[in-house]
Amino acid sequence: MDTTALDLLKPISDAQLQQILLSQVLAMDETPIKAGKKQNEKMQSTWFWPIYGELDEVAFTWSNTRGSIPVEQQLSGFQGTLLSDGYCAYDKFVNHNPLLSDLDAKEKIVAE
């Protein structure tokens, strides 16, 4: 069985994300990147989803979509307050999880 660096690092990455999900408050954002190649040899748009926990931890998750599915997958089990930029995927996640609250950073800045 061939073990790759990714195989060795996955348990560490998973443990870090699980620790972050224990936070009472965390922040999440989506950031576009170019990765891979399309058939026409252009790089395709994909997304990093950095998740920042209250102990100054950060996990950079990745997805090929900006939809709500990555939010649901990455935040599975989280029960706290989510700081976000107000993107509708976060709102959808919070609205389907009654144990969560959502603090839209734009609303907080306007309120101050």
Cβ-based neighbour number of residue 82 at 10 Å: 23
Q: DSSP of 32-66, one letter per residue?
A: EEEES--TTSPPEEEEEEEEE-TTS-EEEEEES--
Comparing 103 with 22, which gets the higher pLDDT? 22
For residue range 31-79, what is the model confidence (pLDDT) as tens digits? Answer: 999 887 766 778 888 999 999 999 999 999 999 889 899 999 999 989 8
Q: Who contacts 30 (Cβ-Cβ below 8 Å, separation ≥6)?
A: 47, 48, 49, 66, 70, 87, 89
DSSP reduced 3-state for 84:
strand
Domain count, the chain: 1
* Residue 32 structural domain: 5-111
pLDDT of 101 over the 70 cut: no
